[in-house]
């Protein structure tokens, strides 16, 4: 990850081309897949409609398991978008990885950068805290978050909230980043370190395939875990444990 | 942290966060319009339709049951009516035949009475004729025998007495 990055400043903020391009591509894929799958919706679903209905019911069931019906309905769109975006992002880097001539990686999983993962975690937690405040009122929300089950647990509860943020973001980032890094390591150092590497070049193929399959699995699991943890946090913070 | 130290070396791309949040919100909006809204609506519509269909089936079943009960009672009613009609017809036929028989027997009695009367009249006529003939013959015979003119009228009373004497015997 000591790769150079292509950065530019705009309105006093620093942007990173690699993340922007990857995020936009992932979102474009999500939108295109959604449009393709939802053409000609009918009460009697076809194959494509079944697929998107299955996806939607899957994310809704994650949320329904944690939250009361009213909140689950409110939160359904966020969970659906989050899961769809995460699963596309996580898997994208395994299939598409583009490195420019200047050594800058322009295309990878957006979730393989800590900033992106943390941004998504912050967004989820802001929503969770917001719903908590809305449900319990500011006083009830603070009491529920900091003084439950006993008031002397205040320090532990503060640490827990910070840990929630770190675990949510770094779990996602770490899994996806590690998956991609190992793929790159196998490819660059084992299979083709600038020249033909004898038996290792041949042996690298099954290793790469196995790890790629495992990473695909991990990417799906991480998207699922991220959504389920978000709904768990919402449930916790709004007192619906 | 591997990635974090790297980032510390360069400028931390906070703009990425802003970009990701804004684009994520946009993605949420697009997905709501394109996928989430329509698909949720379809799912809800389907659930409503299935629930309606189940209710409708229940109503239809109830209706069919009611109709069956109605049919059953109508059938029983009709059967009763048919029995009634047959019984009525039987009774009326019986009555008619009784009337016919009684009329026929009346007429037969009448005919036989008339025949009897006719026969009696014929008999009387025959006797009367015979009486007259006998009287005439007797007179003729008597006048022949006695060569004597006898008045028919004088003899008539005698012969009548004689005949009625015969009849009583």
Q: Is the predicted pLDDT of residue A5 greater than 80, yes or no?
A: no
Closest CA relative to residue A236, chosen from A86, A56, A76, A71: A71
Q: Which chain B residues are Cβ-neighbours of A78 within 8 angstroms?
A: 28
A99: left (phi over 0), alpha (psi -120 to 50) or beta: beta
Is the ipTM higher than 0.95? The answer is no
Assigned domain for A2 exists? no
Is B27–A31 a contact, with Cβ atoms under 8 angstroms apart? yes
Q: What's the pLDDT at B1?
A: 35
Check if B32 contacts A (Cβ < 8 Å).
yes
Q: Is A162 exposed, middle or buried (0-12, 13-18, 19+ CB in 10 A)?
A: exposed
Of A5, A24, A123, the CB nearest to B10: A5
Sequence-distant (6+) residues with CB within 8 A of A65 are A231
Sign of the Cα torsion A131, A136, A142, A143 reads negative
Residue carrying the six token digits 């004729």: B129
pLDDT digits (tens, 9 = 90+) for B122-149: 999 988 888 888 888 888 887 777 765 6
Assigned domain for A1 exists? no
Assigned domain for A211 exists? yes
Domains contained in chain A, number: 1
Which of A6, A7, A8, A16 to probe the B interface (max B CBs under 10 A)? A16
Assigned domain for A159 exists? yes
pLDDT digits (tens, 9 = 90+) for A112-155: 888 888 889 999 999 888 888 888 888 778 877 777 777 787 88
Is A49–B42 a contact, with Cβ atoms under 8 angstroms apart? yes
Rounded CA separation A62/B127 (Å):
135
Residue numbers of the domain that contains A198: 7-237
Whole-model pTM: value is 0.68
Closest CA relative to residue A75, chosen from A23, A136, A38, A123: A123
Rounded CA separation A52/A31 (Å):
12
Please report, for residues A13, A104, A117, B112, the alpha-carbon distance to residue A226 in angstroms, rounded to integers and kept in the order given: 28, 28, 10, 123
Mean pLDDT of the residues in chain B: 85
- What are the backbone angles phi and psi of residue A42, rounded to the nearest 5°? -145, 165
pLDDT digits (tens, 9 = 90+) for A155-181: 888 888 888 888 888 888 888 888 888
Residues 34-63 of B with CB under 8 A from A: 34-36, 38-40, 42-43, 45-46, 49
Sequence-distant (6+) residues with CB within 8 A of A127 are A75, A78, A230, A234
Is B35–A49 a contact, with Cβ atoms under 8 angstroms apart? no
Assigned domain for A157 exists? yes
Assigned domain for A43 exists? yes
Q: Is the predicted pLDDT of residue B73 greater than 80, yes or no?
A: yes
């Amino acid at each position: 990850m000591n790769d150079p990055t292509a950065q530019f400043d705009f309105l006093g903020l620093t942007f990173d081309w690699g993340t922007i391009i990857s995020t936009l591509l992932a979102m474009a894929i999500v939108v295109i897949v959604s449009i393709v799958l939802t053409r000609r919706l009918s009460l009697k679903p076809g194959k494509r409609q079944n697929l998107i209905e299955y996806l939607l019911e899957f994310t809704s069931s994650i949320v329904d398991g944690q939250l009361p019906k009213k909140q689950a309905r409110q939160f359904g769109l966020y969970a659906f978008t989050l899961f769809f975006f995460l699963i596309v992002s996580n898997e994208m880097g395994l299939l598409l990885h583009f490195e420019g001539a200047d050594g800058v990686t322009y295309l990878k999983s957006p979730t393989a950068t800590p900033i992106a993962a943390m941004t998504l975690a912050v967004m989820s937690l802001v929503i969770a805290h917001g719903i908590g405040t809305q449900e319990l009122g500011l006083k009830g929300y603070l009491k529920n978050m900091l003084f439950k089950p006993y008031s002397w647990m205040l320090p532990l509860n503060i640490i827990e909230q910070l840990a929630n943020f770190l675990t949510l973001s770094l779990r996602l980032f770490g899994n996806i980043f590690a998956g991609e890094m190992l793929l790159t390591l196998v490819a660059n150092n084992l299979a083709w370190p600038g020249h033909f590497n004898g038996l290792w070049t041949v042996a690298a193929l099954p290793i790469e395939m196995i790890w790629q399959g495992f990473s695909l699995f991990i990417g799906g699991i991480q998207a699922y875990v991220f959504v389920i943890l978000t709904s768990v946090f919402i449930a916790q913070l709004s007192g619906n444990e | 942290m591997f990635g974090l130290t790297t980032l510390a070396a360069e400028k931390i791309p906070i703009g990425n966060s802003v970009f990701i949040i804004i684009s994520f919100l946009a993605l949420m909006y697009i997905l709501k319009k394109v996928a989430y809204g329509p698909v949720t609506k379809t799912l809800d519509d389907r659930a409503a339709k299935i629930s309606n269909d189940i209710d409708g089936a229940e109503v239809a079943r109830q209706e069919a049951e009611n109709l069956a009960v109605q049919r059953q009672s109508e059938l029983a009613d009709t059967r009763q009516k048919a029995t009634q009609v047959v019984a009525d017809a039987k009774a009326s036929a019986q009555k008619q035949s009784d009337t016919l028989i009684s009329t026929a027997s009346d007429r037969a009695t009448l005919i036989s009475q008339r025949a009897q009367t006719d026969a009696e009249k014929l008999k009387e006529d025959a006797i009367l004729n015979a009486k007259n003939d006998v009287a005439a013959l007797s007179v003729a015979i008597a006048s022949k025998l006695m060569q004597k003119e006898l008045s028919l009228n004088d003899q008539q009373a005698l012969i009548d007495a004689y005949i009625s004497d015969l009849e009583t015997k």
